[in-house]
Structure 1
Amino acid sequence: MTSSIFLAGASRGVGREIAKCLTAQGHHVTALLRSEASRAELEAMGVSVIIGDAMAPDDLKRALGQSEKPIDVVISTIGGLPQDGIKPDYPGNKNLIDAAVSAGVKKFILVTSIGTGNSVSALSPQTLAVLQPVLIEKDKAEQHLINSGLTYTIVRPGGLKSEPATGNGVLTEDIRIIGSIHRADVADLVCRTINTRADNKILSAVDKNMLFGQFEFETFDLS
């Protein structure tokens, strides 16, 4: 079943890979971009582009109302880097979640990272020291989504790599898991959570062949 999907964060990284995956599956995708830089590449994939800033609530209300079709699902990969001054992880996602509620969206999929919320214990002290400022903001975004009343799925990837997909990406509810995963595999997993029983779940995403440490864990069945 195809859906009308609003995607924030499509200009690069996991968001760009999600755009590729969604259009390949035949979904109608509208992407929010802050600038014109990535418009041509996304439109060549069949993505509709709306220019706006997630840090500006009015931009998001306009964007969600401007889509050619009523939005079924919002997917957000909005996030910043540890060195960023103003991090969009919480305010940008909060604005988007609030706009989704106002627009009557059915489902919201938020991509954060392992180490957020109750998965913080999966990180080494050294990694936590670097990432903690961003993880605090991501946790606030997750909590705002959980409390919003929207049907949600939260996907927390491990360390991200840019190589082609391996097909070995898995999801798990096990908060101890830590490892790496290719961005294209994260995108595949995110796309598969749209029409599955992943509603109202928080799931870590790793490549089963790139775990840090070996222990048994149960994978989440997306079928």
Structure 2
Amino acid sequence: MKVLVVGANGQIGKQVVSLLQESDEYSVRALVRTEEQLTAFEQSGVEAVLGNLEGSVEQLESVARDCEAVIFTAGSGGKTGYDKTLLIDLDGAVKMIEATKNIGVQRFVMVSALQAHNRENWNEQIKPYYVAKHYADRILVESGLTYTIIRPGGLLNEAGTGMVAIGENLERGMIPREDVAKTVVASLKETNVFNKAFDLVSGETTIADAVGGL
């Protein structure tokens, strides 16, 4: 299965790309924004393409062509204004969903945010970010694509434990980015999580068992 990783140069995206590259089941295409990023991926043996989530749907169709799945890990980041949150986390995600559907790619895995589906539990300090995630997720659910929406808690840069908790409504918690990336890849072919959305934090269940047992 060939997988397009959107947001491949991000902290989770890079780990997803590495996991896919190391796997015998997948090949990977990294979507990046700059020539420098393109060169870095190509030097590590990863196919990479230039693209911009603020560009057209047609441009995004071209970068996803020949792929069988899309993983969306892109985000505007904490250093930009809420204008970029709307343009990347919401409109960019929606354009990628449209492009994926238009060219007949069926599988779409979205990295969202803990409790993005539940307005009552949004973090007031970054509420516009949650608005963007909430509506991008809703549009994915309504798209007709075979989706999985993964809503991780607070993200850590420490080494993963491989042990997680998955559920519809979890208490706020933290999770290493490494474990998020491994859960994303484990979800690609796991039919138990097709057309499902779930919160994800560190826990006491292996990733394989948690994803397979949802």
- The TM-score bracket by the shorter chain reads 0.7 to 0.9
Alpha-carbon spacing, 1:44–1:203, altered in 2? closer, same or farther (3 Å): farther
Match of 2:202 among 192, 203, 207: 207
Q: CA deviation at 1:195?
A: 1.1
**CA distance in structure 1 between the partners assigned to 2:11 and 2:17 by the alignment:** 10
The equivalent residue for 1:136 is 131
CA deviation string 1:130-171 (max 9, x = no partner) = 121100011110011011110100000000011122212332
**CA distance in structure 2 between the partners assigned to 1:192 and 1:142 by the alignment:** 20
The answer (yes or no) to whether the contact 2:10–2:74 under 8 Å persists in 1 is no
Q: CA deviation at 1:62?
A: 1.7
The equivalent residue for 1:168 is 163
Range with bigger deviation, 31-40 or 195-204: 31-40
Alpha-carbon spacing, 1:25–1:171, altered in 2? closer, same or farther (3 Å): farther
Q: Which has the higher helix share?
A: 2
**Secondary structure at 1:96's aligned position in 2?**
helix
**Secondary structure at 1:160's aligned position in 2?**
strand
Runs of 4+ with >3 A deviation: 120-123
The equivalent residue for 2:34 is 35
Q: Write the mapping of 1:186-205 to structure 2, written as runs, cut at 5 A.
A: 186-196=180-190, 197-205=192-200
Q: CA deviation at 1:43?
A: 2.4
- For 1:32, give the aligned amino acid: L
Alpha-carbon spacing, 1:45–1:195, altered in 2? closer, same or farther (3 Å): farther
The answer (yes or no) to whether the contact 1:164–1:184 under 8 Å persists in 2 is yes
The equivalent residue for 2:63 is 63
Alpha-carbon spacing, 1:130–1:37, altered in 2? closer, same or farther (3 Å): farther
**CA distance in structure 1 between the partners assigned to 2:154 and 2:2 by the alignment:** 29
> What percentage of residue pairs aligned between the two structures are identical?
28
- For structure 1, list consecutive stretches of 5 or more residues without a partner in the other structure: 210-218
- For 2:114, give the aligned amino acid: I
The answer (yes or no) to whether the contact 2:10–2:73 under 8 Å persists in 1 is no
Question: What CA RMSD, in Å, does the superposition of the two structures yield over aligned residues?
Answer: 1.8
The answer (yes or no) to whether the contact 1:122–1:176 under 8 Å persists in 2 is no
The equivalent residue for 1:213 is none
The answer (yes or no) to whether the contact 1:169–1:186 under 8 Å persists in 2 is no
The answer (yes or no) to whether the contact 1:172–1:220 under 8 Å persists in 2 is no
Range with bigger deviation, 37-46 or 149-158: 37-46
Alpha-carbon spacing, 1:202–1:100, altered in 2? closer, same or farther (3 Å): same
The equivalent residue for 2:47 is 48
Q: CA deviation at 1:44?
A: 4.0
Q: CA deviation at 1:40?
A: 3.4
Report whether the alignment pairs 1:222 with 2:212: yes
The equivalent residue for 2:72 is 76
Q: CA deviation at 1:121?
A: 4.1
The answer (yes or no) to whether the contact 1:159–1:179 under 8 Å persists in 2 is yes
TM-score relative to the length of structure 1: 0.84
Q: CA deviation at 1:80?
A: 2.3
Report whether the alignment pairs 1:9 with 2:7: yes
TM-score relative to the length of structure 2: 0.87
- For structure 2, list consecutive stretches of 5 or more residues without a partner in the other structure: none
CA deviation string 1:161-208 (max 9, x = no partner) = 1112221233222x1332000001000001000111210010111111
Match of 1:184 among 175, 178, 182: 178
Alpha-carbon spacing, 1:6–1:137, altered in 2? closer, same or farther (3 Å): same
The equivalent residue for 1:214 is none
